[in-house]
Amino acid sequence: MSMKNIFRDFFTFNKRERNGVFILLSIIAGLVLYLNISSNFVSQEKVDFTKFEKEVQEFELGIEEKREYSKYSEKQPIREERLNGTENKSERFDFNPNNLSEQEWKRLGLTESQIKSIKKYESKGGKFRKKEDVKKMYCIKQEQYESLEPYIQISSPVEIARTPEKTKSIFQDGKVENASALNVPKVERLNVIELNSADSATLTSIKGIGAFYAKNIIKHRNSLGGFVNKEQLLEIWKFDQEKLRAIEKYIDIDESKIKKININTCEAADLKSPYIKWTVANAIVNYRKNHGKYKTVDEIKKTDLVDEETYRKIVPYLIVD
């Protein structure tokens, strides 16, 4: 058998085989064409890492809170002190934990190391404003606090009565004392800080705001485009009403520093924020592309994905040209 015949047997196709090869090549060509043009019609779904970032933030905040609390309490384990081979006896009587003498704490059954932790906390400016503040001290065990709690008496002045003769302070427990005998604080001179322009160092100068809270305030401010009101701080994890009440007199908001987004020129990525999901951002941009430019900001509600609550949150950040 000649070499020519061998090549012909292997590389010559009959009509049926040629049709099969043609169909196979057509399928391959169709797939290549689809892969090249499909990206123009199918939007790429972007991965939202918000949930993951929040979990990381919660973990870091937990570590930071433990560090800051350790400034006011001893890290060493509490040792049960014994006198003459027997446990130190304790008494129970009504007491105010603020500036209580070491001898009185000993009468209540606290050890030297516990008293040292409390006095160190007070030397840093710490104050017990309510009973539960005693429980927050790491050196006080839960069962010990439960034993002391019925006897804790913390009085706070609720009214100042002025008479021609003398000034008196009336306390919640009914006690009346001369104001001259009290340590009346001077009028505090407030240093108000503008939230939309403050840096981390400025924010940490506010009492109750540490480095970690300052970092997360700036992070949330940048993701929003600026703060519109003080209540937006409550959207930060672990930032509760109690902390807001403690600092609100020290902060202010300048709305002129808010970053505005032009909905007639922006892309979906520009709109993405804690208030605007990808689906909403894409809907706003696609509506403009299909119907022309927005005449007013409230026209974004025609997309059906922008409800009243979402609109109320995002309208301060949007403009039209």
Question: In this predicted model, what pLDDT tens digit does every residue of 44-65 receive, in sequence order?
Answer: 556 666 667 767 776 776 666 5
For 105-260, where are the E strands, in sequence order? Answer: 157-162, 167-171, 176-178, 193-194, 251-252
Q: Which of 192, 202, 197, 184 is nearest to 247 (CA)?
A: 192
What is the domain extent for residue 62?
Answer: 51-151
In degrees rounded to 5, what are phi and psi of residue 82? -125, 140
Tally the domains of the chain: 4
User: Within a domain: residue 36?
Assistant: no
CA distances to 202, 238, 246, 251 from 131, in Å: 32, 22, 18, 29
Give the model's confidence band at 181: pLDDT under 50 very low, under 70 low, under 90 confident, else very high. Answer: very low
Final residue of a domain: which of 257, 279, 298?
Answer: 257
Percent residues over pLDDT 70 in the chain: 70
Cα(243)–Cα(273) distance, integer angstroms: 25
User: Within a domain: residue 230?
Assistant: yes
Instruction: Give the pLDDT confidence of 255-307 residue by residue, as tens digits.
Output: 999 999 999 999 999 999 999 999 999 999 999 999 999 999 999 999 888 98
User: Within a domain: residue 244?
Assistant: yes
The pLDDT, as a whole number, for residue 134 is 85
The model's pTM is 0.44
Q: Which of 245, 195, 193 is nearest to 220 (CA)?
A: 195
143 with 201, same domain: the answer is: no
- Contact assessment for residue 235 and residue 292, using Cβ atoms and an 8 Å cutoff: no
- Contact assessment for residue 239 and residue 223, using Cβ atoms and an 8 Å cutoff: no
Cα(144)–Cα(181) distance, integer angstroms: 33
162 with 144, same domain: the answer is: no
220 with 286, same domain: the answer is: no
142 with 172, same domain: the answer is: no
Final residue of a domain: which of 212, 229, 257?
Answer: 257
User: Within a domain: residue 17?
Assistant: no
Instruction: Give the pLDDT confidence of 65-110 residue by residue, as tens digits.
Output: 566 555 544 443 443 444 333 345 678 888 898 888 888 888 888 8
What is the separation, in whole angstroms, between the first and last Cα of the chain?
A: 84
Which H/E stretch holds residue 147? helix 142-148
